[in-house]
Each structure stands twice: as C-alpha cells, then as structure tokens.
Chain A
C-alpha cells in the first residue's frame, strides 16, 4: 500500500511538472544586461506564472530575421525591440494588434509609451535620451552644431549611420543647422565635407568610452544608457544640454502574429510594465521606466531617462520617418561621408 501511495504521488508530481514544463513563453530580447534582467524580471516572473521563460537574444537584425523566417509558425511569442524595427515588422504583417485591456498597467504609462505605432501594434517599456558627452575642461558645447565647429576638428566622434544613435544625431544636427525635412541630405553633405575632421564613426558606446577615456575624442553624441561609462571616469565629462534640446527614442514590446501563447505573453508584458518590475529594473540601472508611477532616488535617476518633464521634452523622430528614409540616409552617407 505504501508503495502504491508513493507511486501515485510520484505520478501526480510527474504530471504536474510536465504541465509546468508545457507552460513556456519564448521571448526575444537585446543581449545586454541579461544577468541583471534574470534577477530583476525573469526569475520573479517565473515564480509567479509557474512557467518557463525561454530567452532568445541577439542584435535587432538577427532577431527580426528569425521572426520573419518563422512567420507561419512563430517560435518567438513576444519581443522587445526599437520602435522603428517594430514598425517594420508590423508593415510586413508579422505582429498582432495588442489588446491593451489585458494590460492592467497600461494606463500608468507615459502617454508617449501608449500606442506609439498606432493600431496598438506595440507598447513602450523604456525611453532613452541622447545628447552630447564632452570634456568640460577642454571645450564647451552649447549646440548640436558645435560638433562640426573648428574647435572640435580632429577631436570629435560621431555615431555611424547604421547604429541607433546615427539617425538621431542627423536629426538634431539638421535642426541646429536649420535644414528641413527628413532626407537629411544637406546635413550628410556637411558631415561629408568635414569627414577628415571626425576621428571615427563609432558603432558601439563601449568603443566610444574607450576613445574618450584615452583622450582621443573629447566630444561625441551618445545615449543616456551609456552615461555611467563616462560619469564614473576620473576625467571631467559633462552631459550637454544643447539649446536645441536632447533627442532620444523608445523601445517597445510586441507580440508575434498567431503565436498561440497570447495569454502568457500578456501576463509577462503586464508584469514587465508594473511599478514593481520597472522600479527594480530602474534601480538596477538597466532601463529607464515607462511607467510614470515609478519613483527612484536622485542618484538612480541621474543615470536614467527619468521623469515626465525630460521625456516630454525629447525630440523624437517618428518610427515611420526612420523606416521611410533609412535606405536613402545610408546610401548618401556611404557616398558623401565614407566615400
């Protein structure tokens, strides 16, 4: 009889674990800070949902290619991605419209994070500001056009057009130089004419941090998420407040079309957007919160893009303008700047 009881308990546990193992959510995320995300988001969620999170990482192009290649039978249930990449996927019919009534934290988000692509294709979960970092002992930056000034010739780096920061820099330089439209032709031509004065067109913020700490470069546009690399340096780096303002962007959550795992995906998205999760993530200095109810200390806020005033003031280029013009920017950049 004793053995029979053990056998029945064993069978029940096996079935239960099989059920738990069956509850899987496959998410596609950026590669950075995964250890911190595991601690602040993935592990707490797995405890609540009694499910398993399968994490897929990679750069945007790789992750988008995977979503597209498996469109008929999605292997990714939800993903976090830049707003313009999300729009590109939506235009290809690879996303489903979100039922925001299933996101209890939706109304707590900043207005800009709600429905940023229209038709509820996505919901914003983090913002980032971008401005110019410079050496305050060597130069003063008051405007984005100072990047092309004679004082900075040979000491400035710009982001390459192929990265996230590249179009943002063109956007703000165009504004400062008084050029109209989103083709950025004149701005790219200006940069091309001064290409020899630009030390390099950097791809990663880590590379820029090394060059600035090595005193090769004394000013460059950079995302706020990389600010800690500079603020912790013994050199006097300053985050500029140019008269044209700061630029920035937003990363969003999306759900693949017909993945069949929508309920669990909504549960995870809602958990990620909650005050509790966003506060933990903000305090770990991973991502800036999109939930306006999140409160953090001044010390934590210093490293983030935090608060309604700052977020509302950001000059943000629309995802549609990025998608519609990107190919032309790269083409002109390669012709006029890289040469």
Chain B
C-alpha cells in the first residue's frame, strides 16, 4: 500500500507518540512505584504485600470471581449466541440489539438497579418470602453473590457478542452433518461448535475476565468494604492511605493477570482441539 516503510511509520508516529507519552509513560511511572522502597529499587514491597493475609484473600477472591463470571458467561453465552444465530435474520437483529442495549447504559445505573433488586424489600426477597423459601428476607447485598451477579450482568453481553461473531464462521451444514452422522448434542458442541468458535471464546473470555478483574464501580457498590477486590483495594490504598507502593503492586498484578488470562484462554482453546 505504501511506497516505502517510512511512509507507514510517519503516519503511525502521532498515534505512537500519543500512546507512549499519555499512556505507557504514566503506567510505567505508576508501576515503578511498586519496585521502590525509600527511593531505592527493591522487591521488598512485593514481599510485604504478598505476606499480608488480607491481600492474599483479596487476590484469590478477585481471581475466583473473574473465573466464575467468565465461566458462567461462557455457558450462558454459548446457549444464547447459538439460539440468536439460528433465528430468522429479521428477528436476529432485534434480539442482538437487546443484547447490546445494556452496554449503552452507564455501569453505575446498572449496578444501582441491583441494590433495589437485591435489597430486603427488593423483588428477589419478595419472591423468596412469597414462595415460602424463607420466613424473613435474606441478606443478598454486600455479599460475593451480589458482586458476582453485578459483574455477570455487566460483562456477559461481551461474551455473547464475541460468540455470535465467531459463529458467523460456522459452516451452515456443520451441525446438521454431525447430527446426521449420529453425534448427540454434547458431542456436537464439543467436537464441532467449540473448536470452530474457539477464537470467539478466547476473545470473549479475555474481555469478561479482565473486565471483572478491573471493574471498580460494581464491587464498590455491591460489595463495599466487606467484599474487597483488587480494584477496590487499590482505590483504598491510593485515596485513603496515599500508599502508591501498594497501588503500583496491585496495578502490576492486575496487568499481569489480564495478559496471563489471554494466554491461558488461548492455551485452553488450543488444547481442546
């Protein structure tokens, strides 16, 4: 396309400079704080951070909820994407619009809706008491369950969109052919659909997992101080304790987890084929 490589580089230069100065440089400065103790380079900050039981608990909770949200999103996402993909084209657009719609609403509004839904006087507790499952309303807010539901609702559309996009590449007769050859639905899914849509699963899984790791508003509102996650802990360390060393360490852990998840999902997808 270009006469020579230089033309391409020159065109890319403004974006590269912009990203380097306004994104990479500040991120590196922030991350470097974690490797300093009293202005000297050291890994002592990491050792201190990891040794604290609270930090270990927050790390594993973040990891657990990230995987749970990604896993459940994948299960529900496949079923939803498969059914949407097989709708007549005129209905497919409408239903796809419904999937995308929540992404256009502020996460703050979506999360606050859960406070009303999950509260003592909310519809979930009304149903629980109404159905006789409990005599009194049960506490759902400020629990891991509340954070899980909030994150699932927040990020599942990304999984569905990725999987629908991947299913566009699924040959029309592949599922029918497998069925004709005697495969049951589980075999169709494992041997045909999953291998042919693995790219969508990797992309969706990465988006949902990293989104769950780095979400702040939902864990802050639905979990609060009782369900600390790495992102809310980071905010607490910076805004309350002015502790940029811990903040740098948490940021490094989050970035590493994000990149690591992408590699892991790719590996899982490859292993299945």
Contact = CB atoms under 8 A, between A and B. Distances in A.
A and B together in one complex: yes
Interface in B214-273: 224-226, 228, 236, 238-242
Contacts of A210: 115
B54 A335 contact: yes
Contact of B225 (A59, A201, A335): A201
A104 to B, nearest CB: 36
B110 interface: no
Interface string B125-162: 00000000000000101100000000000000000000
B54 A334 contact: yes
A203 B119 contact: no
Contacts of B242: 61, 64-65
Most central of B115, B119, B120, B225 by chain A CB within 10 Å: B225
A338 B228 contact: yes
Contacts of B225: 160, 162, 200-201, 203, 338
B14 interface: no
A199 interface: yes
A176 interface: no
A92 interface: no
B27 interface: no
Contacts of A160: 224-225
B21 interface: no
Given A334-B54, A335-B54, A203 B224 contact: yes
B138 to A, nearest CB: 9
A160 B52 CA distance: 19
A135 to B, nearest CB: 13
A335 B228 CA distance: 13
Contact of A338 (B120, B139, B226): B226
B121 A214 contact: yes
B115 A335 contact: no
Contacts of B57: 339
A199 B142 contact: yes
Interface residues of A, number: 24
Contacts of A202: 224
B89 interface: no
Contact of A200 (B53, B116, B224): B224
B141 A216 contact: yes
Nearest to A62: B239
Most central of A199, A202, A335 by chain B CB within 10 Å: A199
Contacts of A162: 225, 236, 240-241
B238 to A, nearest CB: 8
B60 to A, nearest CB: 13
Interface string B53-74: 1100100000000000000000
Nearest to B239: A61
A199 B141 contact: yes
B55 to A, nearest CB: 9
A64 B242 CA distance: 9
A216 B119 contact: yes
| Among all A-B residue pairs, the 6 with the closest Cβ atoms | A201-B225, A162-B240, A200-B142, A334-B54, A200-B224, A160-B225
A59 B228 contact: no
A233 B57 CA distance: 39
Given A199-B142, A334-B54, A61 B224 contact: no
Contact of B116 (A64, A201, A214, A338): A214
15 contacts: A160-B225, A162-B225, A162-B236, A162-B240, A162-B241, A200-B141, A200-B225, A201-B225, A202-B224, A214-B121, A215-B119, A216-B121, A330-B241, A334-B52, A334-B54
A338 B58 CA distance: 10
Contacts of A335: 53-54
Nearest to B221: A207
A195 interface: yes
A216 B120 contact: yes
A154 B143 CA distance: 13
Interface in B86-136: 115-116, 119-121
Given A200-B142, A338-B54, A339-B57, A195 B115 contact: no
B237 to A, nearest CB: 10
Contacts of B142: 199-200
Given A200-B141, A201-B226, A203-B224, A61 B53 contact: no
A215 B240 contact: no
Interface in B150-189: none
Nearest to A58: B239
Given A199-B139, A215-B119, A330-B241, 19 more contacts: A59-B239, A65-B242, A160-B224, A162-B225, A162-B236, A162-B240, A162-B241, A195-B226, A199-B141, A200-B141, A201-B224, A210-B115, A216-B119, A216-B120, A334-B54, A338-B225, A338-B226, A338-B228, A339-B54
Contacts of B236: 162
A154 B239 contact: no
B115 A214 contact: yes
